[in-house]
Structure 1
Amino acid sequence: MFKELKQKFVIINMSLLTFVFVAIFIAIYILTAFGGERQLAFDLDKIINAPPKPFPGGPRVATSLVVELNKNNEIIVFSSFIAMEEDIIKEAVSKAIEIHENSGKIKAGDFNYSFIKRETPFGTKIAFVDRSRLQESLRDILIIFVIVGGGSLIVLFLISVYLANRTIKPIKEAFEKQEQFVADASHELKTPLAIIKTNLAVISSNQEETIESQSKWIGFIHSQTERMSNLINDMLSLAKMDSLEQPLLFQSFNLSNVLDGVLLSFEAVLFENSIELETDIQEEIYFYGHKESFERLINILVDNAIKNTPKEGIISASLSSKKNNIEIIVKNTGAGIASENTEKIFERFYREDSSRSRESGGYGLGLAIAKSIVQKHNGKIYVESNIGVDTSFIVQLPQGRL
């Protein structure tokens, strides 16, 4: 599919470029030919009105010939600025006489001439002008077009192929990510559905049992429906973030208070997991953005830190304003993230653990949502990690209205 798309891109691009080149060439060729014909007509008109023999003050046009004929079409006199043999002159005169129009083009010998005829009291006067220069100019234009135009089209073809590759690459990546997203979503939904189906089968096979005795299986079903609900909500959040048709409602809010409030809600979880929390929050930092999204962002980062911090570990959260940027850092001690995975960690459904362990209860969508939130606010988010020591998620945001 993408190969065909690339070919269409190159074909359309080259067709348009070729059309433009040919149109320019035709325009130049026609204008040159038209200008040359006008100059020849001007020269013919000038020399046809000159005396039969040139004189120092009279008009002289290089590569021209003027012939006067009597009533019997015999040459009386001629003046020539062309090195022509007499039989060639007679051939030119004979062909000009045969043409009934008063002007035209003929070929005599190896050359082409334009001519004009005028009737005189003594017979006919014919002026000839050599067309060689005009023909050479037109031929040179054609050669230049073939060489320059052909060479340019080859270069432009290579550029078009390069641009096609660059243009198709993000589309291909987006398509592949979409396919992977659908496959991962299907995979993630398949497991809880299988568990629910199995537990329902167990309950159905023991219909004589009381609800209380079946509470274990009902609990499993409830936990899996919660997991599915969370997955669907996360997917909807990502879809909303990706949608350009549903802009977020931005307002100025106290980011310091938002960070304090979210951290406060995690106190019980931190205590339960024996994790120490350190904070360094600059007060009264205001930010223009979507408040609910930032509550979600900080929730995701802190929740992610808790899941990856061992007991007796430390999580630190800081907020500061530096020059024109606001910086949020959530840092936790723990195993760390391999350098080759620091970019992948923000991909949808990505888990550094290849076994895709679900012990944490997540689906690998949280950090993807966090990245979407930050990007919606023209910021950037990245990871700095020391293997076996700590991991820092750093969010940098521009101050002022976006």
Structure 2
Amino acid sequence: MIRRFLLVSSALAIGGVLAACSDSGKTPAAGGAGAAGAQQQAAAVGVITLKKGDFPITTILPGRAEAFQTADIRPQVSGIIREITFREGGEVKKGDVLYQIEDAPYLAAVAQARATIAKAEASVPSAQSNFDRYQRLVGSGATQIEFETAKTNLLQAQAEVESAKAALAAAEIDLNHTKIIAPFDGIIDQTAYNVGNVVAANQTTALTTVRQIDPAYILLTESSTNLLRLRSAIAAGEIKGTGGNDAFRLILENGKEYGEKGTLDMSKSVVSETTGTFTIRVRFPNPDRIILPGMYVRATLELGSESGFALPQLATSRNANGELSAQFVSADGKVENRTFENASPSNNAWLVTEGIKDGDQLIVSGLQSITAGMPVKPTEMKINDKGIVVPVAPPAAGGDAQQPAAK
């Protein structure tokens, strides 16, 4: 009995020692895990330090490119196409011959008209002589009727000469129209007719089309809700593009900004009854022919400037109420979410005038891994010309570090 008690006591004693050792081993591990968790909560984020300044107020309008001039080429005389002198899709200059229509019948018509003139002119001297003779004899051997008849014959002979000259001019015009020329400099489309095809004067089907695309027109559309504001800005001269200055910048279909700036050319004063929009036409230089008719583009229009803080669009979002929202670093190093009721577009940013002060740090990267109230470790960043967030270059310390060595 005593032996059994001793065995049980020994087992309990050993179990207590093992439990104590296990507890002592777990306590430091738990403490280490808590410290590691605290370090993981301080997420690394990129920030930019905001400073109040004057920024442009802009609006972005959708639009479509159109040619500056477009001409459908049609024949003005009938005949067979003898020659096509242009390269389809190539450039043509004003006055270049595009099509040559068979001109033999028109050359014959010109020759015939010249012969008719010669015949008409040959009868004029005889009529003139007869008129002069009766003019001298009127009242002394010649009757008034004979004089009037001679006068009429002279006038008819002269009229026949003028008529023949007019017929010659018409024949020469038709002959010139056998050469179909380019009306202006531009790009020519493919031809709808080939050599040997018969064409008719003023036919409905065009032979080809010539488009002038330098400069190019951009037709922008805007909703009627902004009509009064835009027209007032134009009338007040707040749009810097009026009067020859550049105010429009263009974003192409590939998302890149076009290198040239545009000027306001025309603004319609009538709102479409079907779409509720109005049209603004802008002219852009297009020397490299980057803008092609039919392209869909977006134009940025500067309406003026305002003092405030520019929040890059890549660092903002909209909440369920449609309010602009952004994440900031608070004074105690935690994530602070702010919303703004009023924000105006300013190029690739939102211009905010309230709720921000100089020196506030806006979080621009690492937004996916943070939530409001989370501790963060900010790193100063900047947004380059391409809209990419990159670290701010650290100050050049190499020179300072080498100065002691030089001494």
TM-score normalised by structure 1 residue count: 0.19
Higher relative contact order (CA 8 A, sep 6+): 2
Higher strand share: 2
Higher helix share: 1
TM-score normalised by structure 2 residue count: 0.19
